[in-house]
């Protein structure tokens, strides 16, 4: 049986405003903010407000708005960083690489010949995350 959703997870705390994040987008259903251990410049996380551990227990009604915003963010990061492409990733349970148990989609700008950095690797400087968030917000038109 799937494990229960834990409202003490780090993204739930970010959604409740209990810990800070560099937000680039918010609407009624979805928030997007910078990943603190980016796998590439501009790595952004797109997170539904509705609670679920991952895709396996999510309400299907959550997925349309989530992927609608993931697409908007993908277009915006490509523009913001003049990227050659964009990788979207989404992990379910530890065996897949999931480390935070609130559904989310990774959006990572990609550049020809530049590999992804390790997953949950090195912390980025807050000032770099803040500067990248400004660029993404501008590309999103907000
Ligand atoms: P997962 O492994 O669950 O797919 O991805 C979790 C992601 O969250 C990782 O890429 C990791 O770098 C990121 N992350 C972990 N803790 C925090 C945090 O406190 N704030 C932010 N913004 N990202 C985090």
Query: In CATH, what number is assigned to the domain containing residue 23?
Result: 3.30.428.10
Annotated active-site residue in 22, 43, 102, 104: 104
Which of 92, 101, 8 is closest to 53 using CA atoms?
A: 101
Q: Which domain holds residue 83?
A: 10-140
Per-residue pLDDT of the chain (142 residues; tens, 9 = 90+): 568 999 999 999 999 999 999 999 999 999 999 999 999 999 999 999 999 999 999 999 999 999 999 999 999 999 999 999 999 999 999 999 999 999 999 999 999 999 999 998 899 999 999 999 999 999 999 6
What is the bridge-based pairing of β-strands 44-48 and 85-89?
unpaired
Using alpha carbons only, what angle is made at residue 91 by residues 85 and 95, rounded to the nearest 5 degrees?
135
What is the bridge-based pairing of β-strands 30-34 and 44-48?
antiparallel
Q: Hey, which residues does 105 pair with through a beta bridge?
A: 46
pLDDT of residue 142: 62
104 labelled catalytic: yes
Cα of 23 vs centre of ligand 1, distance in Å, is: 14
Is 5 among the domain residues? Answer: no
Q: Which residues line ligand 1 (CB under 6 A)?
A: 10, 21, 33-37, 91, 97-100, 119-120
pLDDT of residue 1: 57
pTM (two decimals): 0.97
Is 2 among the domain residues? Answer: no
């Amino acid at each position: 049986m799937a494990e229960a959703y834990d409202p003490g997870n780090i993204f739930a705390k970010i959604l409740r405003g209990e810990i800070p994040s560099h937000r680039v987008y918010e609407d009624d259903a979805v928030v997007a903010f910078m990943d603190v251990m980016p796998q590439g410049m501009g790595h952004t996380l797109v997170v539904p407000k509705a609670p679920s551990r991952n895709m396996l227990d999510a309400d299907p009604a959550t997925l349309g708005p989530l992927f609608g915003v993931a697409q908007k963010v993908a277009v915006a990061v490509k523009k913001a960083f003049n990227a050659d492409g964009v990788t979207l990733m989404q992990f379910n349970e530890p065996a897949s690489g999931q480390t935070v148990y609130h559904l989310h989609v990774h959006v990572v700008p990609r550049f020809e010949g530049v590999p992804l950095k390790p997953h949950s690797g090195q912390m980025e400087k807050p000032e770099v995350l803040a500067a990248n968030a400004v660029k993404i917000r501008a590309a999103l038109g907000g």
